[in-house]
Amino acid sequence: MKFIHLTDTHVIGEGALYGQDPAARLRAAVASINAEHGDADFVVLTGDMTHWGDAAAYARFSREIKNLTMPVHLMVGNHDDTAAFGEAFPETPRDDNGFVQSGFDTPFGRFLLLDTKDQDTHAGAYCPARQAWLDRELDQTEGPIVLFMHHPPFKTGIAAMDQIMLQDAESFYDVIASHKTRIRHLFFGHVHRAIFGNWRGISYSCMRGLNHQVALELNGASERIAANFESPAYGVVLLSDDQVTVHLHDFADRSERFFL
C-alpha cells in the first residue's frame, strides 16, 4: 500500500506569506502527487492547513486540496481554527467531544488521527477527554496501529520548537505504552523539517512544510524560531506486512535527471 504524508501547508486567503505564495506551493504539490503518485491510496495531512485559521484561507485551501485524485484525511494543527475548519469541511469526522480525531482501517493496520491543538497556545495538548478516546480506540483494535499527530510528543533538539511540542507527552505515553509493540509508526508535522528516529521503541518521521521550513539550529535560543526556504517536500509511504518505508520527495527539485 502507498499513501502520501503532507503537512504544514499554511495557506493564507490572499497574498504572500514570508514572501512566498503557500497556495501556489500546495497547487504544485497536488499536481506532483497526482502525476507521480496517482496510485496512492490516500493522503494524510497532519495539520496547519492554514496560517491564520480564517475562512478565506480555508476556502483557498479547499479549492487546491480538492484537486487531489485520491481521498485526503485532514487534521488540525496549532495554526488552524477548529470552528472555521468545521465550516469549510463539515464532513470531517470528530470524536464525541468534538475534537478532530478519528480512525480508519487499512489492510496494514488501523490509522488513528489525533487532535493535538490547544486553543490558547501554539504548543500541543492532549487532554484527558482525548486520551480517553485514544484509550478506547487502542483497546478495541487488535491489530497493528499507525499514529498521526501534529505536535511531536518529544524533543527534537531544536530549542524553539521543543518549547511548543506536545505538553501532555507523559500522559499521552501512558495511554499508548501497553500497545507499543503494535504501533508500526508515528507520523507528525509542526517542526517543518525532515526528521526520522525512534522514541521509546516507536519509529517516527516528520516532513518539511510547503511554504517555509524551520532551520536546523540545534544550539539556538528557545525564544525565537529560525526559518529558511529549503525545498518543500512531502512523504511517500510504502507499507507491507513487515515493513514501513518513508521516502521524502523534493517535488520542486529541478536538477538534471540522468542514469548512473
Q: Express each pLDDT in 86-120 by its tens digit.
A: 999 999 999 999 999 999 999 999 999 999 999 99
- Alpha helix ranges (H) inside the chain: 22-36, 55-65, 82-88, 128-140, 159-162, 169-176
pLDDT at residue 220 greater than cutoff 90: no
pLDDT at residue 123 greater than cutoff 90: yes
Count of domains observed in the chain: 1
* Of 124, 130, 129, 128, the residue nearest 112 (C-alpha): 130
What CA–CA distance (Å, rounded) separates 190 from 79?
9
**Structural domain includes residue 204:** yes
Q: Average pLDDT of 27-46?
A: 98
pLDDT at residue 66 greater than cutoff 90: yes
pLDDT interval class at 223 (50, 70, 90): confident
**Structural domain includes residue 242:** yes
pLDDT at residue 222 greater than cutoff 90: no
Q: Average pLDDT of 154-167?
A: 97
pLDDT interval class at 11 (50, 70, 90): very high
**Structural domain includes residue 28:** yes
pLDDT digits (tens, 9 = 90+) for 200-211: 999 999 999 999
**Structural domain includes residue 259:** no
pLDDT at 28: 98
Q: Average pLDDT of 181-203?
A: 98
**Structural domain includes residue 132:** yes
Q: What percent of the chain has pLDDT over 90?
A: 98
pLDDT at residue 138 greater than cutoff 90: yes
**Structural domain includes residue 113:** yes
Q: Average pLDDT of 29-34?
A: 98
pTM score over 0.95 = yes
**Structural domain includes residue 119:** yes
Give the domain CATH number at 145: 3.60.21.10
pLDDT at 244: 98
**Structural domain includes residue 222:** yes
Give helix 55-65 / helix 22-36 axis angle, nearest 10°. 20
Instruction: Quote the domain boundaries for residue 113.
Output: 2-249
pLDDT at residue 249 greater than cutoff 90: yes
pLDDT at residue 51 greater than cutoff 90: yes
pLDDT at residue 132 greater than cutoff 90: yes
pLDDT interval class at 7 (50, 70, 90): very high
pLDDT at 57: 98
pLDDT at 245: 98
Q: 220 with 160: CB under 8 angstroms?
A: yes
The C-alpha cell that represents 14 in the structure block: 490572499
